[in-house]
Chains A and B, each alone.
Chain A
């Protein structure tokens, strides 16, 4: 993983000191909340329903054990002993006192971490494929480019007061695990006709009140032009994005109001007009320097099969199920990637206690080459584990109740914190997610259903990405009562689609039974056991599922 040099270190330390000064001015009353707000937001500090919330950046979701242990210590020392891993591969603490924030930032800086630009109307933490460097289908490791974009966008003087927040995601695999088509800018690394690797440049995706799938502004942009082309896009947006209405201020609205053709024309004109002073020169030595941090670790030469792993799979239903659902193939023989589904029943999706964080850190250090990732599905992933070590990893996870075997399944629900924690929410998310999870409590039934993505948001801001769930659930407030709208057919992968709202909202207690009926309809209609829920729905259309949704029990 990337390690700070003296420049990175200096900046993070100086930023922590600067924020300490801002907090002191606020606590002394020299700075009004109105003026403090844009400052604290640029450093990940939100004022929430109950307390201040701190969002810590985990650049492109990668951590080492030492960092994860510090995150655990922060949870113990300054919060209530847990943290919440988010859909943007970050971690949030919900109960940190403002006066403690500077100390927390110092502790983070000790392990090369920070909260820079994790909120506010600026370029946010860059996200990526959690299996980068391990999966079978990527053409190159995308993380060096994530790191280059992280550095370029950090304290960018021109783009610190954008019309709205700005999210960039990068993937280099054919299978898009980073949901790049629902980001403000999505970069999909591709080869051009000459076989050279560059970026498909996708703009204007996003969820929220007005969901859009991003559109391609350039089929391919060369690596050496990436930062300059990003600047051209950012400048068009900074100058012309709407500022009269915060709900119309994202770049997706600009792209749609101008139309793809006119937006592209403006960007290309700006890009073509850049002179040599304006072009961002990234020396090849610098690309190589950053790339070297992501060189493949020293994998052992192993057999593609493992007797220990085979025995493990044969050792009982529960672990066989975990092996089937929670492991992903690795490009190197004898290795595999392991998912920890942080969504067992009864707790908020993405939550982990400090003890669990320490266990995950220990396992990562001992068995996973000290490489730990946060996935946008709010899972923790070890990209590199030897098949031979899988039994030991499983045993250690089980001892910490981290062995939920539902990764990618119906109960592996993405949900926002909802009304219980968030002052934007209109409805509870966690309780409705828990009730839907209970539909899949019978693991044989859940296995029968197979791959299914359920997403829950507590308001139209869509932090639970309900538009891209195979089944999306959106909480709304109707005259003081919570109702839940149901969407079908969304997906966040390379075939990204916005789900369709089916009809009137359901009461809280009606949601789980209705979802159960929809699942029943799928089991009845699927062509074969191997046909996934989303594929059956694509084949037969949504109407029969809608009928099932609203059929009274």
Chain B
């Protein structure tokens, strides 16, 4: 399935290592449980490390290591389940996470803009024309009332030249 990184198709360099399975070379994603028990070895191994959170996981458990993590993967198990929007906002705004925040699961083109605003910069998006669709969907609305995790200023501020 195509991976869009900032809207462009990108090679997925990452491998998910199941709990208990051996580690392969290169960028590696693990579960939060594995990360919590093996973080010293993982972070010392010089490979980029990522964590796959489920919707029930608290992002704040990763807070002490976020500046050394390269990726957090969040899931949309159903396109109507919006918990990962909150997790992404927390990672970006509360904890200032600078690495990749990746969305996987059921994703509709019409939700891409919401994901971008919530702080996702990588989206696994199943569409034959993924780049073009992303380009259109991300530009359908040009103004935003509320601040979010992207750089767009709120209309509340723009109206008064405060953005």
**Could you tell me if B146 and A156 are in contact, using CB atoms closer than 8 angstroms?**
yes
Asked if A480 is at the interface (CB within 8 A of a chain B CB), the reply is no
Spell out B's residues near A (CB within 8 Å). 79-83, 85-87, 89, 93-94, 108, 110-111, 113-115, 117-118, 140-148, 154-160, 162
Beyond the given pairs A157-B113, A161-B82, 16 more chain A to chain B contacts, judged by CB atoms under 8 angstroms and listed by A's residue number, are A121-B80, A151-B155, A154-B145, A155-B141, A155-B145, A156-B145, A157-B144, A158-B82, A158-B89, A160-B82, A238-B83, A243-B83, A275-B93, A275-B94, A280-B146, A285-B159
Residues of B contacting A11 with CB < 8 Å? 141, 143, 145
**Could you tell me if B141 and A235 are in contact, using CB atoms closer than 8 angstroms?**
no
**Could you tell me if A157 and B85 are in contact, using CB atoms closer than 8 angstroms?**
yes
Q: Mark interface residues in A14-45 (1 if CB within 8 Å of B CB, else 0).
A: 11011001100000000000010011000000
Q: Within A271-317, which residues are at the interface with B (CB < 8 Å)?
A: 273-275, 277-278, 280-283, 285-286, 289
Residues of B contacting A282 with CB < 8 Å? 156
Residues of A contacting B81 with CB < 8 Å? 161, 243
Residues of A contacting B162 with CB < 8 Å? 283
**Could you tell me if B85 and A283 are in contact, using CB atoms closer than 8 angstroms?**
no
Q: A282 to B160, alpha carbons, bound, how many Å?
A: 10
Q: Within A457-488, which residues are at the interface with B (CB < 8 Å)?
A: none
Contact of A38 among B80, B113, B142 (CB under 8 A): B80
Asked if A152 is at the interface (CB within 8 A of a chain B CB), the reply is yes
**Could you tell me if B108 and A15 are in contact, using CB atoms closer than 8 angstroms?**
no
Shortest CB distance B94–A (Å): 7
Residue of A nearest to B116 (CB): A157
Residue of B nearest to A284 (CB): B160
Residues of A contacting B80 with CB < 8 Å? 38, 121, 161
Q: Within A155-169, which residues are at the interface with B (CB < 8 Å)?
A: 155-162
Q: Assuming A10-B143, A157-B114, A235-B86, is B148 touching A5 (CB within 8 A)?
A: no
Residue of A nearest to B113 (CB): A157
Contact of A238 among B85, B94, B115 (CB under 8 A): B85
Q: Assuming A10-B142, A18-B141, A273-B94, is B85 touching A151 (CB within 8 A)?
A: no
Spell out A's residues near B (CB within 8 Å). 5, 7, 10-11, 14-15, 17-18, 21-22, 35, 38-39, 121, 151-152, 154-162, 227, 235, 238-239, 243, 273-275, 277-278, 280-283, 285-286, 289
**Could you tell me if A7 and B155 are in contact, using CB atoms closer than 8 angstroms?**
yes
Residues of A contacting B158 with CB < 8 Å? 7
Q: A141 to B117, alpha carbons, bound, how many Å?
A: 33
Residues of B contacting A281 with CB < 8 Å? 147, 154, 156-157
Residues of B contacting A239 with CB < 8 Å? 83, 86-87
29 A-B residue pairs with CB within 8 Å: A5-B159, A10-B142, A22-B110, A35-B79, A38-B79, A39-B108, A151-B145, A152-B145, A155-B145, A156-B146, A157-B114, A157-B117, A157-B118, A158-B89, A158-B148, A160-B114, A161-B80, A161-B81, A161-B85, A161-B111, A162-B82, A235-B86, A238-B85, A238-B86, A243-B83, A280-B156, A281-B154, A286-B157, A286-B159
Q: A274 to B147, alpha carbons, bound, how many Å?
A: 13
**10 nearest A-B residue pairs (beta carbon):** A161-B82, A157-B117, A157-B114, A151-B145, A7-B155, A158-B85, A18-B140, A285-B160, A278-B93, A157-B148
**Could you tell me if B118 and A283 are in contact, using CB atoms closer than 8 angstroms?**
no
Residues of B contacting A10 with CB < 8 Å? 142-143
Q: A533 to B55, alpha carbons, bound, how many Å?
A: 50
Q: A281 to B158, alpha carbons, bound, how many Å?
A: 12
Residues of A contacting B145 with CB < 8 Å? 11, 151-152, 154-156
Residue of A nearest to B162 (CB): A283
Q: A280 to B113, alpha carbons, bound, how many Å?
A: 20
Residues of B contacting A158 with CB < 8 Å? 82, 85-86, 89, 114, 118, 148
